[in-house]
Amino acid sequence: MTDQPPLIDVAIPTCDRPELLRRAVESVRANTLTRWRMTISDDGGVKLGDDFVKEFNDPRIQYLAHAVTGMVHDNWDSACHAGKAPYVFKLDDDDTIEPDFLELTVAFLEKNADVSVVYTGYTILTGDKAIPLVDKHFFMDRETVDGLEYVRAILLNEDYPWNHKSAGVFRRKKAESIQWFKHARMDVTFSLALAIGSRVGYLPARVFNYYRRSPEETGPGEGMKPAVYESILRDFNEFFSWPFVAENPEMRSIEHLAKSRIQFTVPLMYLSHSIRRDPVKIFLKKWKITQRFVPPGRSWLLLAMILPLGLLPESWLNQLHDWYACTGWVKKALNFLMPH
């Protein structure tokens, strides 16, 4: 440990998962970079209390508790706002980082002043399987890319960046300029907001671990909640009205085409990914939400594409989802066939 001020704030929002949280905290404490400060923001129904933090006997860790359970992005805001370090990393309570994660990402941002956020390679851990994921089709051998290129790839359903959108280390000043999670309430849209008017960095080292829990671990109906799905659709639907987006000429130049495509591709990705996990009642609720954001002609075409996928095992769906995300010609074909 050191008496010097922290270089990075690690924000861990949590909700009723103490054992997973403990694993996440220990992964941060094992890092080679010691100049960090951690804020655990507890939004759970059963509060962990200060005793949980005392277990670690580490003055770099502070604990915040919310009286009432709120929206996910409110908890993110609380956790990230608590610090003052120049760099910020939001770590979900069920994921972990490798010992050199903080050192590598902070050094990268120190070296590249024009980069607002940096991502890394990562490993998907599910059951006894470890799936390595390093982006070789979008970032390729490039350490940095222009933010507009990154935004276009996602909004226009092009060569989707294969980074974990919730695992970026970003500059506090940039987050303040986009008002944190006031507008961008989901990981992927926050990732887009950070990229606008800046550059995006990438390190191929697999130093982040994403735990994809199986249906056996989570139980039926514990996939994405309808409220979260609604937030995703609302974020994309409102994206071009956000002040820092509306004022950007480069964003305005792609607005019409982007709106046309994301109305179809975003629900397709998320609904198809959850059709096997969600009970019929939850899926139908999500479908009603979809119809509020997608024009009638498209919404029924969307349903016709998704329903056959419900016959596939979830493991196949996961593989299909991953293949679609990083296969350019499939997205080009869908963009061509998509009604405008």
- Residues 166, 93 contacting (CB under 8 angstroms): no
> pLDDT by residue (tens digit) across 76-96?
777 777 788 999 999 988 899
Residue 50 lies in a domain: yes
Q: Which of 211, 237, 261 is the last residue of a domain?
A: 211
More confident residue, 96 or 321: 96
Per-residue 3-state assignment (H helix, E strand, C coil) for the chain: CCCCCCCEEEEEEECCCHHHHHHHHHHHHCCCCCCEEEEEEECCCCCCCHHHHHCCCCCCEEEEECCCCCCHHHHHHHHHHCCCCCEEEECCCCCEECCCHHHHHHHHHHHCCCEEEEEEEEEEEECCEEEEECCCCCCCCCCEEEHHHHHHHHHCCCCCCCCCCCCCEEEHHHHHHCCCCCCCCCHHHHHHHHHCCCEEEEEEEEEEEEECCCHHHHCCCCCCCHHHHHHHHHHHHHHHHCHHHHCCHHHHHCHHHHHHHHHHHHHHHHHHHHCCCCCHHHHHHHHHHHHHHCCHHHHHHHHHHHHHHHHCCHHHHHHHHHHHHCCHHHHHHHHHHCCC
The rounded percent of the chain whose pLDDT value lies above 70 is 88
257 with 190, same domain: the answer is: no
More confident residue, 1 or 286: 286
165 with 16, same domain: the answer is: yes
Residue 1 lies in a domain: no
Q: Which of 189, 211, 233 is the last residue of a domain?
A: 211
107 with 188, same domain: the answer is: yes
> pLDDT by residue (tens digit) across 185-220?
888 999 999 999 999 999 999 999 998 765 444 444
**What sign does the dihedral 165-167-168-172 (CA atoms) show?**
positive
Residue 114 lies in a domain: yes
Residue 3 lies in a domain: no
Q: What CATH number did the domain enclosing 25 receive? A: 3.90.550.10
> pLDDT by residue (tens digit) across 153-186?
888 877 788 899 989 999 999 999 998 888 988 8
The per-residue pLDDT for 221 is 42
148 with 278, same domain: the answer is: no
Q: Which of 158, 184, 211 is the last residue of a domain?
A: 211
Where in the sequence is the domain holding 274, given as residue range(s)? 220-337
281 with 187, same domain: the answer is: no
**What sign does the dihedral 229-71-212-8 (CA atoms) show?**
positive
Q: What is the mean pLDDT of residues 227-256?
A: 88
More confident residue, 202 or 131: 202
Residue 18 lies in a domain: yes
Q: Mean pLDDT of all residues in the chain? A: 84
More confident residue, 283 or 43: 283
180 with 265, same domain: the answer is: no
132 with 277, same domain: the answer is: no
The per-residue pLDDT for 218 is 47
138 with 75, same domain: the answer is: yes
Q: What is the mean pLDDT of residues 44-53?
A: 70
The per-residue pLDDT for 73 is 65
Q: What is the mean pLDDT of residues 241-270?
A: 86
122 falls in which pLDDT band (50, 70, 90)? very high
Residue 244 lies in a domain: yes
Instruction: Please state, in angstroms and rounded to a whole number, the distance separating the CA atoms of residues 174 and 274.
Output: 33
> pLDDT by residue (tens digit) across 5-19?
999 999 988 877 888
230 with 176, same domain: the answer is: no
206 with 234, same domain: the answer is: no
* Number of domains, the chain: 2
Residue 2 lies in a domain: no
36 falls in which pLDDT band (50, 70, 90)? very high
340 falls in which pLDDT band (50, 70, 90)? low
- pTM for this predicted structure: 0.85
The per-residue pLDDT for 300 is 83
265 with 120, same domain: the answer is: no
71 with 162, same domain: the answer is: yes
Residue 50 has pLDDT above 80, yes or no: no
Residue 176 lies in a domain: yes
Instruction: Please state, in angstroms and rounded to a whole number, the distance separating the CA atoms of residues 138 and 149.
Output: 10
The per-residue pLDDT for 55 is 87
